[in-house]
Structure 1
């Protein structure tokens, strides 16, 4: 059999994670201190809790410390699997949300034919995790998520609205690289990956620290098509 689009796509780019996981290993709990009011994530979790059947499998991509999302979804009666590139974030998530399962995995490893196979999920969330990827990889990550979902599976995505690509910023006194889109471009990329957008919300958020400016957060509630 030939390569899938995702396999061929990942083979055509150079994946560079240098410093990204290490930065979040250092940040640890300070992330939750800087972003204590995650209204958009809580609202999205409530949407899934009201829509999915108990026992549904939900994937939390870039789960961080597991707060609030993995805990909220686990408390709603779902079988939650979280993945994160940072070993420290995975350690904290296992401590804070013992009913869920967490793995230190790169999203690229979940692609069809990749080295990790976690099965299929009824829903997936990616809250501010895809912004850690260069733009060339984001469509591949979205296609991977499409592959991981059952037909008509739900997907909730959040990104910071910004026209940047693999741009270095100072975040909690640590350098990380981030990417973003303006709203119209983000919607186009998501739809081209095979998702129907059911609803969208936006929040202007000022982190509870001084070195990160206010940001416009976009939340898209989607359904897998095809």
Structure 2
């Protein structure tokens, strides 16, 4: 599924997503576990930021300035309305380029929509965007491969390189594994927290 098509699908449910997740507790305990490992303040990147909401507010509480990225124009529009003091960009993480580096990066329930062939390149990109001591949290499926599923009367694409290859990719790029959990077991949802160690 190409990013334009995915963005259009999320455009259709953007308001529903905003209403459901703006103040929800979904993912918050996992997110707080990660942010507790980061230095307070600095720059944060939210990949697949949606309409903003709970994660952006927690980042604000920890004195981060936020850059959000999403393939849905409507999601970005809502995020800008909700958090006008931060930057939200309508872009695809696969092709987005920046000279900035970030102290905290989150990709919660977003990169599992990428084409399977883009999983490793994007995870590598996220690793490269971290500052020394920076923290990365993202979620993925525990199995290898790709599939489609029906949600909101539409078809969505999902892919994953699995637990072992995700961990290997992080370690190859100099990150230390801090936490990994199948947090919605028996569903195949995994989240990982990794950190780029500061130089000795």
2:66 match:
80
- Partner Cα separation in structure 1 for residue 134 and residue 101 of structure 2: 9
Deviations 1:186-218 (A, max 9, x none): 33343344432111223227xxxxxxxx83321
1:195 paired with 2:175, answer yes
Query: Which runs of at least 4 in structure 1 moved beyond 6 Å after TM superposition?
Result: none
Total equivalences in the alignment: 197
- Partner Cα separation in structure 2 for residue 153 and residue 144 of structure 1: 14
Cα distance change of structure 1 residues 18 and 92 upon mapping to structure 2, 3 Å threshold: closer
- Partner Cα separation in structure 1 for residue 91 and residue 159 of structure 2: 20
Report the TM-score, using the length of structure 2 for normalisation.
0.84
Of 29, 32, 36, the match for 1:50: 36
Instruction: Answer yes or no: is the 8 Å Cα contact 1:45–1:73 preserved in 2.
Output: no
| Aligned-pair CA distance for 1:149 | 1.1
- Partner Cα separation in structure 2 for residue 79 and residue 104 of structure 1: 18
- Partner Cα separation in structure 2 for residue 31 and residue 161 of structure 1: 24
Instruction: Answer yes or no: is the 8 Å Cα contact 2:44–2:67 preserved in 1.
Output: yes
Decide which structure has greater strand share: 2
Of 120, 134, 155, the match for 2:136: 155
- Partner Cα separation in structure 2 for residue 183 and residue 99 of structure 1: 36
1:215 match:
187
Cα distance change of structure 1 residues 84 and 221 upon mapping to structure 2, 3 Å threshold: same
| Aligned-pair CA distance for 1:106 | 1.0
| Aligned-pair CA distance for 1:178 | 0.9
Instruction: Answer yes or no: is the 8 Å Cα contact 1:157–1:221 preserved in 2.
Output: yes
| Aligned-pair CA distance for 1:20 | 0.7
1:171-190 aligned within 5 A: 171-190=151-170
| Aligned-pair CA distance for 1:37 | 4.8
Structure 1 residue ranges without an equivalent (≥5) = 1-14, 111-115, 206-213
Report SS of the residue matched to 2:188: strand
Report SS of the residue matched to 1:106: coil
Deviations 1:152-201 (A, max 9, x none): 32101112334431x22212222221112443343334334443211122
Cα distance change of structure 1 residues 184 and 32 upon mapping to structure 2, 3 Å threshold: farther
| Aligned-pair CA distance for 1:18 | 4.7
